[in-house]
Chain A
Amino acid sequence: MKNILRKTGITSVLSALVFMAGINTAVSAEDTIKVGILHSLSGTMAISETTLKDTMLMLIDEQNKKGGLLGKKLEAVVVDPASNWPLFAEKARELITKDKVSTIFGCWTSVSRKSVLPVIEELNGLLFYPVQYEGEESSKNVFYTGAAPNQQAIPAIDYLMNDMGVKRWVLAGTDYVYPRTTNKILEAYLKSKGVDQKDIMINYTPFGHSDWQSIVAEIKKFGSAGKKTAVVSTINGDANIPFYKELGNQGMSAEDIPVVAFSVGEEELSGMDTKPLVGHMAAWNYFMSIDTTKNAAFIKQWHEFTKDPKRVTNDPMEAHYIGFNMWVKAVEKAGTTDSNAVQKAMIGIKFPNLTGGTAQMLPNHHISKPVFIGEIQDDGQFMTVWQTNTLVKGDAWSDFLPESKPIISDWTAPINCGNYNTITKKCSGQKF
């Protein structure tokens, strides 16, 4: 205990020194390109976002080794919005106005992104958002490198329906914007495929829900009506362990009622006892277990950078990898880091992803991605059981919701709008 205390004491002193040194270099070296990193390093979301900060530091470090960008060195400016949504907006403003960063990589939850949005649009900044999200948004200043619903949720449903013969559906989620919107889209999609209302069960639970007994019992009952049933889970990180544990304890195996999750990745699995999870599924655009030379090199680099051979890689990390490299290419193409020029240059940029395809930035600020469905193995990795043949293009406005069906996003001339109604031929006044 004493040792540990001393150690943390020393590290905090050290980090303070490093921080001061950071300020010094910032003052002395004017000739750098600054990259803002806006990820929570404390609070609830630190669990997921810390990794992304480290990923960005690694990518920036690597770019500097290659000689930097436009002849200048890149410099990371790390801030901590502490899982506090209004603070995200404040910190974003600080990054753009005070630190004068060229671009920001950050945010995880949709609510944090929504809180940054007005700031970044007002100050005409750039934000790369690396997490799968509910769609129904497209901002001129944001590049969405994570999956839109048609790049994760819809293909997963297709797999379950066509390959597994699932007839009854449980849509279980945590009670906030991402699961609610995703489930709305999924419900509309299922109905368009002829699924009856009585074969769909929708359930919401509070954040960090830990007592799943009655809900699991209900799912079990719902799933025992003689039709193949699957659970589509948008349950958020922390509530997952008790959920899967309860599933296992109540004797619901993945062979009877499989659960396909959209928020459980390698990182989350590394903190779980994987025994009750084996066979359950997740849909992502990247798995650490995918065997390509690029992925192997990325994992090796990650292990060397973190000095921990057990650290896992995950989907949002790949999104940052693609996003960062696309930004670098766009800046090189534009010859400047000016926000407007880079925004223009970004569209159409291609960069190879880690799983063997080539991602392309689309006019709607989303990228094309492959979709993988994997089954969880007992070592916390995924075994790919299905994947799309081609890359799927991200669709900002879902075609399965009546209100967003006619809407498209296109940031190239002549439309130049993130919210364009193809029927009325009008761009909504809303900027995003």
Chain B
Amino acid sequence: MILNGTGRLAMLFLIAMLLPLLFFSQQINAQEVTSKANSDVTEILEVKADFSSALLALKQRSLSKRAEAIKQLIKIENPRTIIILDALLIGNLFENRADGSLLIAENQGDYYAASQAETGDSIGRLKKADIKKIRLSNRLRSQLRLLLAQKELYLEDTDIRMQAVKTLAKNPTKEAIQLLKSVADSEQDETIQQEIQLILALQDMTSSDKNVRLAAVESLKQHTSLEAVNRLQHMLEKDSDGQFNEPDKQIRKIAKSALVKIEARLQVYATIKTVFFGLSLGAVLVLAAIGLAITFGVMGVINMAHGEMMMLGAYTTYVMQLIMPNHIALSLILSIPAAFIVAGLVGIAIERGIIRFLYGRPLETLLATFGVSLFLQQTVRSIFSPLNRSVITPDFMSGSLYINDFLSFTWNRIYILVFCLLVFAALLQILRRTRLGLEVRAVSQNRNMAKAMGIPTDKVDAMTFGLGSGVAGIAGVALSQITNVGPNLGQAYIVDSFMVVVFGGVGNLWGTLVSGFTLGIANKVLEPIAGAVLAKVVVLVFIILFIQKRPRGLFPQKGRAAES
């Protein structure tokens, strides 16, 4: 294009020089100009036609042809190109079944809000049956991401630019490096600048110039980047001929010291990570066990249906989501009180209907509540089908808090950890400060005395059981975000819950908290060493030995009441 233009200019220049000599040259010149104007017009028209046809080419069934169409489309300069390809990438590009045109449509519950892809004109609501998605495979998706990243380097939004740089870093082709070099100087944002420098430094490591390599290794020291570690390690390894990949001894030495420095940091990150994993597993255990700590710990009832209370909570979340399909986040928050009420009421019903006739007969209680748990499972199976139900995770709970390549915390775990602490604090306050709490403590310490003091122990029992079950329901809401919502949800957690309560000391909420976190961290420390299966076994054996030594758990109940 540019060459063509200068060629034309040179031609014009030549003609101008020859003007005095050739009389009719002006005529030729004029002709030239008009034909140029004409070609401009046709070019614009052609581009437009190209754009439309390239767009329609996306519809092709064959994936390789679709890939070709994407390549064609990205070459065409059009303000809509990026918007359309972005939509394609996230799965919002559709074909209109009625007329075969392409649409950008967004799912809004029952319908899709659609607009013409080519022009952006809205065409209102469409049903799912009216449109057909333009699908992508992994290969197309990564190819498209790469192509888009090259365009996005020039956009305003720093987050998008950063993402684009990272995408290009994953696949550093010559073209991409060239592009990054060209934007490196004009980039204002510091973190992006750093990222680009890192990629360029990594690129320099394979340079044939020793000094360039040296400078690159030096600059890598500060970066906590995975790619940097890999490259440095590669430098120190020997190839198949027994030669070091990096021929220069001095550079190897520096690379080694850089690696040692980075790895020291990595050790710290790894420890932080393990502790976080342990805490978040502990949070789930505490949530699952804390309801049991009340019913089993305070009332002394072995409630085998405790897991099913969690299951009911999880299903409540599912039902809430069905009621409000367009407000997933809100429905999740509203599920918390709803699950509490549902599970609490079922708990009270179980207590009034069955358990109150069985106080003081632990074996019968155990069997009866086991029966209840089977009954609840089968009920759920016949209402909701035996299949797992899909509970959608709201956006704010997916993804992770990125700190660096080696350290990131997943949001759902952070929220569950915080949620667990909140529930624990609330429960503690209820037991300490409310009338119910006072009565519960009184009854659990000495039932007969409490009765003599005029406390309606029957009512307190029912309320306590309801409270424990309700908290289990709340735990179910949290579990619905990390595991399956199905009839067997409760079974997976019941053994763990008992383990936590027994280990922590029956009747002590603080014990439950500490024991939950301890078991979580122990599990996560052991898991990488021993494997998931063995880690569980080791923890179990440890608990058995511990209970042998201290039958009342970590924090035994003290006082005369506890002796009996």
Contacts and interface: CB of A to CB of B under 8 A. Distances in A.
A211 B532 CA distance: 10
Contacts of B533: 175, 204-206
A214 B270 CA distance: 10
B486 interface: yes
Nearest to A291: B61
Contacts of B226: 224
A279 B138 contact: yes
Interface stretch (A28-36, A241-249, A316-324, A340-348): A241-249
Contact of B532 (A44, A50, A206, A276): A206
A364 B488 CA distance: 37
A47 B408 CA distance: 35
A47 B489 CA distance: 12
Interface stretch (A66-74, A266-274, A328-336): A266-274
B483 A205 contact: no
Given A241-B483, A241-B484, A249-B398, A42 B138 contact: no
Interface string A180-219: 0000000000000000000000011110111101110110
B133, B234, B379, B482: most-surrounded residue (chain A CB, <10 A): B482
B392 A273 contact: yes
Most buried by A among B408, B492, B532, B536: B532
B388 A204 contact: no
B142 interface: yes
Contact of B387 (A11, A226, A241, A271): A271
A276 B398 CA distance: 9
A27 interface: no
B381 A46 contact: yes
A208 B388 CA distance: 13
B485 to A, nearest CB: 8
- Most chain-B CB neighbours within 10 Å: which of A217, A256, A379? A217
Nearest to B226: A224
Interface stretch (B191-199, B277-285, B461-469): B277-285
B528 A46 contact: no
Interface in B390-417: 390-393, 398-400, 402, 408, 410-413
Contact of A273 (B280, B378, B390): B390
Given A42-B378, A213-B281, A248-B398, A225 B387 contact: no
A251 B412 CA distance: 13
Contacts of A251: 399-400, 402, 408
Given A205-B533, A383-B135, A385-B137, A271 B483 contact: no
B125 interface: no
A215 B398 contact: no
A210 B170 CA distance: 31
Given A241-B388, A271-B486, A278-B91, A208 B492 contact: yes
A250 interface: yes
Contact of A377 (B135, B378, B408, B482): B135
Interface in A111-161: none
B388 A226 contact: no
7 A-B pairs with the lowest CB-CB distances in the bound complex, closest first = A271-B388, A249-B410, A46-B386, A255-B142, A213-B277, A210-B483, A205-B532
Interface of B: 63, 91, 133, 135, 137-138, 141-142, 145, 170, 226-227, 230-231, 234, 273-274, 277, 280-281, 284, 378-379, 381-383, 385-393, 398-400, 402, 408, 410-413, 482-488, 492, 523-524, 527-528, 531-533, 536
15 contacts: A4-B383, A42-B378, A47-B386, A204-B533, A211-B281, A214-B527, A215-B527, A242-B482, A251-B399, A251-B408, A255-B141, A255-B145, A256-B170, A271-B388, A275-B393
